[in-house]
């Protein structure tokens, strides 16, 4: 019996270690790539600053590079905000759809009162559970079949 459980564990959880290793490698690779990317970004800004210094002077060059960087930052913020609003609208639509699928408030109240009945009489509890299940099924449209043949 123990070898069977061991094999079932390997089948069920065998991919946990490789997945963790892959995630760790991906995170480390991403961190190294981020350092190289930031280094390239700083070098690009310095090169742009040195080029503009020859054309318009050091002060104006620094102001232009700062304005360009600030504009890029604001663009990223606007994009992220629009993505967040779109995600929030999708979540709200899902919430409304889930709320529309809920049973009516009377049935919800009966289901909420069911816990109090479970502590009491067992026959009454069985009848109440059966009635609640029947009412819930009917409110969800179970058993409504219009094309029945007599």
| Mean pLDDT value of segment 143-147 | 60
Question: In the structure encoding, which two tokens stand for residue 15, read together?
Answer: 């991919």
Residue scoring higher pLDDT (125 or 23):
23
Cα–chain-centroid distance for residue 58?
47
**Are residues 84 and 33 both part of a single domain?**
yes
| Mean pLDDT value of segment 65-94 | 93
Residue with tokens 């905000």: 81
Report the distance separating Cα 48 and Cα 42, nearest Å: 10
**139: Cβ contacts below 8 Å, ≥ 6 apart:** 103, 104, 107
* Domain-embedded: residue 76: yes
Report the distance separating Cα 27 and Cα 37, nearest Å: 15
With a cut of 90, say whether residue 34 has pLDDT above it: yes
Q: How much is the pLDDT for 80?
A: 93
**Are residues 115 and 65 both part of a single domain?**
no
Other beta carbons less than 10 A from residue 128's beta carbon: 17
**Are residues 122 and 73 both part of a single domain?**
no
> Is 55 exposed, middle or buried (CB count within 10 Å of its CB: 0-12, 13-18, 19+)?
exposed
Residue scoring higher pLDDT (106 or 22):
22
Residue scoring higher pLDDT (106 or 88):
88
* Domain-embedded: residue 18: no
Q: How much is the pLDDT for 115?
A: 66
Q: How much is the pLDDT for 132?
A: 77
Residue 117: name the closest of 132, 102, 136, 137 by CA. Answer: 132
**Are residues 96 and 112 both part of a single domain?**
no
With a cut of 90, say whether residue 145 has pLDDT above it: no
* Domain-embedded: residue 20: no
With a cut of 80, say whether residue 63 has pLDDT above it: yes
**Are residues 89 and 110 both part of a single domain?**
no
**Are residues 92 and 51 both part of a single domain?**
yes
With a cut of 70, say whether residue 138 has pLDDT above it: yes
**Are residues 68 and 113 both part of a single domain?**
no
With a cut of 90, say whether residue 11 has pLDDT above it: no
Per the structure, the count of domains in the chain is 2
Domain enclosing residue 74, as ranges: 29-100
**Are residues 65 and 122 both part of a single domain?**
no
CB 53 within 8 A of CB 61: yes
Q: How much is the pLDDT for 8?
A: 61
């Amino acid at each position: 019996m123990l070898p069977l459980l061991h094999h079932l564990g390997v089948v069920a959880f065998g991919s946990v270690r490789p997945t963790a290793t892959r995630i760790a490698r991906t995170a480390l690779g991403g961190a190294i790539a981020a350092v190289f990317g930031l280094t390239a970004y700083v070098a690009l800004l310095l090169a742009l600053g040195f080029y503009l210094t020859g054309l318009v002077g050091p002060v104006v060059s620094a102001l232009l590079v700062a304005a360009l960087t600030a504009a890029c930052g604001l663009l990223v913020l606007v994009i992220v905000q629009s993505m967040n609003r779109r995600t929030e609208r999708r979540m709200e639509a899902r919430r409304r759809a889930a709320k529309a699928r809920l049973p009516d408030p009377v049935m919800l109240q009966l289901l909420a009162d069911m816990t109090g009945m479970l502590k009491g009489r067992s026959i009454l509890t069985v009848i109440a559970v059966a009635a609640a299940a029947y009412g819930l099924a009917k409110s969800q449209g179970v058993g409504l079949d219009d094309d029945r043949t007599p």
